[in-house]
Structure formats: structure tokens, C-alpha cells
């Protein structure tokens, strides 16, 4: 699944935002998985993380378990990582 | 069917328990069943009256190494792993006997006491990692 362009990500309205800033691996990934259970299929989680590996990890996880990794946008000192629930 | 992640936890040092909890949580998040057997000093670390109260590091640990304050404590990582995935934690019956413990004296993270055959049955001929 190809990711969205930065301009598309910037305009994306997530259904839920998870602030995992300050947490180290695997904290942000576990927070993303927990959040996914709270939203319907097709909805989007926006995960905030200061851990630079989170976006790589979340992409691998999404691909493995059937969600759509939409991409990551850099914010002020952290990444905004977007995933659409796939199943 | 996904091959389970099978871990034998022997060491009760904080660093190795942390590393094991991270592996378990990652596998659980990826949808892999996790099959854990607690033996000896790892089992001792799951005693309800001392779990999470801190402890020693492995002998090879560098005491000057900076603590990782961003990391969740291993106990919390394991709780999240169990909440989010299929994680089975079994206390080795032989180690319980050696330590003079009953499974009721362990933290609720531990699902049951079990023998080695039950652990191998759950491992489904997959690899087993000893930590």
C-alpha cells in the first residue's frame, strides 16, 4: 500500500489521536494497537511519537496485521504517524 | 497459522526481563501467539510480593550505562502484551517446587503452573528462545 503525500497527510482528519510522546519502543506500537480496537474499520488513528523508529515499526505492524499505513509527518520534535484500520 | 514465539525465561535480572517483555509485546502486537515458560530466577521475579520492585542487572551489564527512563517497566509491558494479544505465561512446575512456591503466590500475569510437555505442545515445533 502506498502512503499518502505530505500535503494529503496534512489535511487528514484522524478519528482518534494518541499521544505516545516520550515513550520508547514498544510503548507507541502498543498504544497504537490499543487505540485501533476503539475505532471502526476504515477510521484513522494518528499516533504521536518522539521515538524515531515508531513510524518504521508501525508500518511493519500495519502491513502484517492488515491495516493501511498512510504515512508519517514531522511535527515539532515528534512524528505524526497515520494508520487506517483495515479489519 | 502463525508460529508462536516461545520464550523460556530463566534469568530474573531486570534487564533480561525487560528484553523478554519487549519481545513478547512486539510479537503479540504482530498477531503472533506468545508462549512463555518461567523457570528459576525469572519465576522468582514473578512472586506477587516482589514483582516490579526492582532488582539486579545481569552480570554483563554496565553499571555506568544510563537508565532508559522512556521505557515502560517490564511488568507493565507484559500486562499490555497480555491485554493486546494471545500471551500465555506458564510457571514451570519443577521450578515452583525448587523455590518452594505455589502458583497462588505469583502475580496474576502468570496463567497457570505447567509441565514442560505443555510448553512444547504450545511451541508447535517452532523455535524456542532461552533468556
Task: Name chain B contacts of A51, Cβ cutoff 8 Å.
Answer: 70
Considering the domain boundaries, does residue B66 fall inside one?
no
Let me know if residue B105 belongs to a domain.
Answer: yes
Answer whether B29 sits within 8 Å of A22, measured CB to CB: no
For residue B64, the model assigns a pLDDT of 78
Name the band, by pLDDT with cuts 50, 70 and 90, for residue B69: low
Domain count of the fold of chain B: 1
Domain membership flag for residue B91: yes
Tell the CATH topology of A6-84: Translation Initiation Factor IF3 (3.30.110)
Domain of residue B126 covers 5-52+71-130
Q: What is the pLDDT along chain A (87 residues), one digit of tens a residue?
A: 568 988 888 888 999 999 999 999 899 999 999 999 999 999 999 999 999 999 999 999 999 999 999 999 999 999 999 999 999
B58 located within any domain: no
Place of cell 476504515: A42
> Quick check: is B113 in a domain?
yes
A30 contacts on B by Cβ (under 8 Å): 25, 29, 77, 80-81, 84
Give the one of A22, A60, A61 whose C-beta lies nearest to B70's C-beta.
A22
In-domain check, residue B57:
no
* Domain range summary for chain A, segments of one domain joined by +: 6-84
Report if residue B59 sits inside a domain: no
Q: How far apart are CA A9 and CA A5, in angstroms?
A: 6
Helices vs. strands in chain B: H and E counts, helices first? 5, 5
Predicted local confidence at residue A87, as pLDDT:
93
B65 domain residue, yes or no: no
Q: Beta strand pairing status for A44-49 and A16-19? A: parallel
ipTM tops the 0.85 cut: no
Instruction: Look at residue A36 in the predicted model and tell me its pLDDT.
Output: 96
Query: Is residue A26 reached through a cis peptide bond, with omega within 30 degrees of 0 on the bond before it?
Result: yes
At B123, which CATH number? 3.40.1260.10
Amino acid at each position: 500500500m502506498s502512503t499518502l503525500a505530505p500535503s494529503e497527510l496534512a489535511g487528514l482528519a484522524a478519528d482518534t489521536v494518541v499521544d505516545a510522546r516520550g515513550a520508547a519502543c514498544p510503548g507507541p506500537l502498543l498504544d497504537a494497537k490499543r487505540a485501533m480496537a476503539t475505532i471502526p474499520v476504515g477510521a484513522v488513528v494518528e499516533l504521536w511519537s518522539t521515538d524515531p523508529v515508531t513510524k518504521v515499526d508501525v508500518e511493519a505492524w500495519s502491513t502484517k496485521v492488515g491495516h493501511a499505513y498512510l504515512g508519517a509527518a514531522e511535527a515539532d520534535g515528534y512524528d505524526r504517524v497515520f494508520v487506517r484500520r483495515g479489519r | 497459522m502463525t508460529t508462536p514465539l516461545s520464550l523460556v525465561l530463566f534469568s530474573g535480572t531486570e534487564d533480561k526481563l525487560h528484553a523478554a517483555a519487549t519481545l513478547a509485546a512486539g510479537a503479540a502486537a504482530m498477531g503472533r501467539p506468545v508462549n512463555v515458560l518461567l523457570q528459576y530466577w525469572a519465576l522468582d521475579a514473578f512472586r506477587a510480593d516482589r514483582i516490579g520492585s526492582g532488582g539486579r542487572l545481569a552480570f554483563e551489564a554496565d553499571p555506568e550505562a544510563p537508565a532508559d527512563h522512556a521505557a515502560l517497566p517490564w511488568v507493565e509491558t507484559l500486562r499490555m502484551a497480555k491485554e493486546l494479544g494471545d500471551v500465555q505465561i506458564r510457571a514451570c512446575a519443577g521450578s515452583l517446587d525448587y523455590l518452594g512456591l505455589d502458583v497462588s503466590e505469583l502475580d496474576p500475569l502468570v496463567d497457570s503452573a505447567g509441565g514442560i510437555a505443555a510448553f512444547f505442545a504450545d511451541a508447535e515445533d517452532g523455535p524456542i528462545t532461552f533468556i
